[in-house]
Structure 1
Amino acid sequence: MYQRLIFTKILSRTDVEHRMAIPMGSFDVFQIPQGEHSKQFDVIDMIKTGHSWSFRCSTRKKDFYPKPVLSSGWIEYIREKDLREGDQVSFFLVQKDGEEGLRLGVQAQKKLIRLWGKDCWTAPF
């Protein structure tokens, strides 16, 4: 399997309670068609093999700064993984062996403890 990291983000309170803001440097991966303000994306769960999620990426309709966010489907993912503020998610471009084309992948990690100045992470169950 081929995978390339797009971004990793430590979750804020807004990310876990309402919607997740996508870093602008990664927005080009979430290509929203010209003239539209949202698009649904199927995203592979990198922990639960074979499971996928559907997230909606949207931008503000009338704003100079597009500020892309994941909304619809995102909070269900947060609840399923029991993620909290301070946990992190990573998004990847993924190509499974024998498949054509790249897909998006997501991986959540829960913060266990800070030990000797370093955060220790684990995958949620």
Structure 2
Amino acid sequence: MEFEYSKVLRQNDIEDRLTVPQKWMDILRPLFGKGEKEALIRALCWLGYFWEFRCIIRGKGPYEKPTLQAPEWQRFINYVGIQEGDRLIFQAEENHERRTDYNIRVQRKDADGLWTDVQPPARVAPAFYHFNI
């Protein structure tokens, strides 16, 4: 199943953990074992780096409240330089030879109000996040 979901990030998403929209669970659910509340999400970013995020279903009641947990999420935020108002795009990975589940991109509005990919930082990511493609 191919999908693409996006979320415009709020300050709360940047300061701690990413609150995942409930509708994303339709696609994330296969990563969770039966009755499990935690899963590992493997993603390749548009910069060519491999990231792993721990996703936890928290809370009780009628709504699952999935979140990408810090510190993994914070490492990504800090490396990319994500800001409030940026858009996170999550897309299904069709090529599982890379052993990733998703592709992720972060975009920011340019001077004309168009979404463009956030430019790569001048520094090099930690070696264990790089994925040779």
TM range (shorter): 0.7 to 0.9
Give the TM-score taking structure 2 as reference length.
0.75
Residue 7 of structure 1: CA displacement? 0.5
- Does residue 122 of structure 1 match 2:117? yes
Matches within 5 A, 1:63-78: 63-72=61-70, 73-78=72-77
Conserved? CA contact 2:38–2:55, under 8 Å: yes
Q: Which runs of 5+ in 1 are unaligned?
A: none
Runs of 4+ residues over 3 Å off in structure 1: 61-64, 98-102
Aligned residue pair count: 117
Question: Alpha-carbon deviation of 1:110?
Answer: 2.5
Compared CA separation, residues 40 and 120, structure 1 to 2 (3 A): closer
| Structure in which a larger fraction of residues adopt strand | 1
Counterparts of 1:10 and 1:89, CA distance in 2: 6
Q: Is 2:107 the partner of 1:109?
A: yes
Amino acid at match of 1:57: C
Taking the TM superposition and a 5 Å limit, the aligned residue runs for 1:43-62 are 43-45=43-45, 47-49=46-48, 51-62=49-60
Check 1:111–1:62 CA distance in 2 against 1; reply closer, same or farther (3 A cut): same
- TM-score w.r.t. the length of structure 1 is 0.79
Measured after TM superposition, the shift of residue 120 of structure 1 is 4.2
Using the alignment, how far apart are the partners of 2:98 and 2:74 within structure 1? Answer: 30
TM-superposition CA deviations, 1:50-107 (whole Å, max 9, x none): x2100011111544321111113111111100001001110001223x9498721111
Q: Name stretches of at least 5 consecutive residues in structure 2 with no aligned partner.
A: 121-133
Between structures 1 and 2, the one with greater helix share? 2
Instruction: State the distance in 2 between where 1:81 and 1:23 align.
Output: 21
The amino acid of 2:38's aligned partner reads S
- What is the RMSD computed on CA atoms of the aligned residues? 2.4
1:1-125 correspondence runs (5 A)? 4-31=2-29, 32-45=32-45, 47-49=46-48, 51-72=49-70, 73-96=72-95, 99=97, 103-113=101-111, 115=112, 118-125=113-120
Distance 1:68 1:52 in 2: 21
Do the aligned residues in 2 keep the contact of 1:82 with 1:124 (CA within 8 Å)?
no
